[in-house]
Amino acid sequence: MPDYRLILASTSVFRKTLLDRLKIDFEQVAPDCDETPEVGEPAVELVARLAREKALSVHRQTSIDTTVVIGSDQVADLNGQILGKPYTHETAVEQLQSLSSNTVVFYTGLYVVKGDDSRHCVVPTEVKFRTLSAPQIERYLRADEPYGCAASFKSECLGSAVVEYMRSDDPTALVGLPLIQLSGFLDELGISVP
């Protein structure tokens, strides 16, 4: 039994699946966090703040020095316009129409806290979208249903069919949890992976 308690401050199936790859025991706890962007808040600052607030909201519930909490968030930035989760088909269509032929940066924020110690980063991923016709957008949305994904884009499924390229130092960041950075942070906090 480990001498720590690891908590993922998220109910995301995608983040859970990613963290499962590290083969370490963890729990999932829903954070209490208002995800509304502040007026004029750039995407990179928004994801850093939300990752921190998610982790700290769960950390405050435990307040045990051996508890390690992971918070993460992701948004897309299209020329300064923040694209979050669409939730509806209509919004997803609008988002993909705006992404067609454009390059967008997905920012994934990560915040890990243990007691008074914390680590944080924001990992950018640049994605260039193909020119998308209305029928292509409809087929993609019906097949992938990315309504809970930032900018209506699910890279781990059919998303690769609608883009020209994806560039990142950590490919898992685009799915929602940058495992390369996370593994390093956990090691620094005394949790061995693997």
- The answer to whether residue 1 scores a pLDDT higher than 60 is no
Q: Which CATH number fits domain 5-188: 3.40.50.720, 3.20.20.80, 3.50.50.60, 3.90.950.10?
A: 3.90.950.10
* Residue 73: active-site member: yes
Cα(5)–Cα(115) distance, rounded to whole angstroms?
Answer: 12
Residue 174's SS3 state is: helix
Cα(181)–Cα(21) distance, rounded to whole angstroms?
Answer: 14
Task: Give me the catalytic one of 25, 73, 116, 169.
Answer: 73
Q: What percent of the chain has pLDDT over 70?
A: 98
First to last CA, the chain: 15
In the structure, what pLDDT confidence band is assigned to residue 193 with cuts at 50, 70 and 90? Answer: confident
Please tell me the pTM assigned to this model. 0.92
Between helix 179-188 and helix 13-20 the angle, nearest 10°, is 60
Both structure tokens of 65: 């020095």
Mean pLDDT of 23-32: 94
Mean pLDDT of all residues belonging to the chain: 93
Provide the pLDDT for residue 63: 66
Segments making up each domain of the chain, as ranges: 5-188
